[in-house]
A = this chain, B = another copy of it.
Amino acid sequence: MTERPDPSVRRFDAAFRESFRDLVLWRRDVRRFRRDPIDPALIGSLLELASHAPSVGHCQPWRFVLVESAQCREAVRSSFVQANAKALECYDGERRAQYARLKLEGLEDAPVHLAVFADEATEAGSGLGRQTMPQTLQYSVVAAIQTLWLAARAEGLGLGWISILEPQLLCRTLDVPETWTLIAYLCIGWPVEEHLDPELERHHWQERVGAGRLIFTR
């Protein structure tokens, strides 16, 4: 086997890797957005890039729904308010007060709302790789979301993932096929502020766990 690098293969240098590390570190779950619009062509190009994420059996199960109507957005906001009130009841004392102070979404100001689904009935990929681990279909959609998140941050855009929602209700509200599973509801917009530390760390909800404590050997 030759050790000579193939000139047709894309290589990445140390400077790129350093910037990529910064991109990962500066990605945040954003909840405070400016209301300025985003060029639809930019959103389109980000979704196109996200579609190059890995997917089990190359089945590309991601379905992106841009939620634009005021009626749909209001139903989503209302679902958040209800689910968040229920969630608050799970905490007591100081932890409850702390939860109540957290800002967990930017639904009102974000110019772009994106619901991301997995099409569980897709025939693409012919089931390859999904016999023993069928959840890989949903996992593929998450890989696309993380790709989108990093690509958005590289453009200076913020993205926030809201999971405090009733997924069944959202599927009905957005009138998607019954075979689609909601994976994520995302807010996208120009961020009001930027941070290197996660919001939940900054507000003492949860600190970072050292990576060394998460690695094991067998």
Residues of A within 8 A of B (CB): 1, 6, 9-12, 16-17, 19-27, 29, 34, 44, 47-49, 51-54, 56-60, 62-69, 72, 83, 86-87, 90-91, 95, 99, 102, 104, 115, 124-133, 135-136, 138-139, 142-143, 145-147, 149-151, 153-156, 161, 163-167, 174-176, 182-184, 192, 194, 196, 198, 200-201, 205-206, 208-209, 211, 214-218
Contact = CB atoms under 8 A, between A and B. Distances in A.
Contacts of A69: 218
Contact of A52 (B24, B104, B166): B24
Nearest to A130: B163
Copies in the complex: 2
Contact of A131 (B1, B25, B87, B136): B87
Contacts of A60: 208-209, 214
| Majority secondary structure, A binding face | mixed
Given A34-B1, A58-B201, A65-B218, A154 B12 contact: yes
In the complex, the 8 A-B pairs of residues with the closest C-beta atoms, listed nearest first: A142-B142, A58-B200, A48-B211, A58-B206, A143-B146, A133-B163, A51-B211, A146-B146
A163 to B, nearest CB: 4
A203 to B, nearest CB: 10
Contacts of A216: 63-66, 176
Contacts of A102: 128
Given A9-B194, A164-B132, A57 B206 contact: yes
18 contacts: A16-B154, A17-B151, A17-B155, A21-B49, A44-B215, A51-B214, A53-B146, A54-B161, A66-B215, A68-B217, A87-B131, A90-B127, A125-B200, A125-B205, A133-B163, A135-B138, A142-B143, A174-B218
